[in-house]
Amino acid sequence: MAYELKQQNLFRNAKIGQNLQAQQNDKIRSDQIFWIDADSPYPPIQAYLKKLISLGNILNQTMYLGLAEFETHFAIYLPGTFYRKHIDQFESTKTRKISFVYYLNDTWQKEFGGELLLYNIEDELIQNISPLGNRFVCFDSQLPHEVHPTQRTRFSMTGWMKTRSTSVLADNILTQITQ
């Protein structure tokens, strides 16, 4: 499906930052993305979204994370593209808790590159993950990580499981108080 979306020119250059402050910076991030809508008419996307909801429920039941929503997109890394070391948690809103990547390439080889590198808080490499097809990876959104340059086109579905923002919670509380 990601390949078909790419053929239709639906992918856009990815940005860094949040909302109005988001900007494109090819020195930090050079992939392209296509946001996935919860109302997508495609059965494979609906199946994927249902799996994410199930995983979020399991994480809440076992780890008490308070996950309430998620956002996800297709990502394509063309040959030579990358994403420098970063964390997924925004400074202004701390709602992203779990980052995840689902790799879509069927025949990925080590020499193609595109690995996901995970670091601990002390900036020590803790895992080097090859983007093998049908591999699902999730990790704490505060962990530094990066995507090494690819030598072949690499498709994935990437996203974040989130808690509700405090502004949404405050709005809900105010609504309940005033009713």
CATH of 2-178, one of 1.10.1060.10, 2.60.120.620, 1.20.140.10, 1.10.1750.10: 2.60.120.620
Looking at residue 111, what is its pLDDT?
97
Q: Where are the alpha helices (DSSP H) in 8-116?
A: 43-63
Give residue 171's pLDDT band: very low, low, confident or very high (50, 70, 90). low
- pTM of full prediction above 0.75: yes
DSSP letter at 78? -
Each residue's pLDDT tens digit, 23-68: 888 999 999 999 999 999 999 999 999 999 999 999 999 999 999 9
DSSP letter at 29? B
**Would you put residue 19 in left (φ > 0), alpha (ψ -120 to 50) or beta?**
left
When the pLDDT of each residue in the chain is averaged and rounded to a whole number, the result is 91
Query: Cα–Cα distance between 56 and 51 in angstroms, integer?
Result: 9
Give residue 175's pLDDT band: very low, low, confident or very high (50, 70, 90). very low
Cα 67 to Cα 52, 61, 64, distances in angstroms: 11, 10, 8
Question: Where are the chain's structural domains?
Answer: 2-178
Closest alpha carbon to 70 in 103, 22, 35? 35
Q: Is the pLDDT of residue 4 over 80?
A: yes
Each residue's pLDDT tens digit, 75-109: 999 999 999 999 998 888 889 999 999 999 999 99
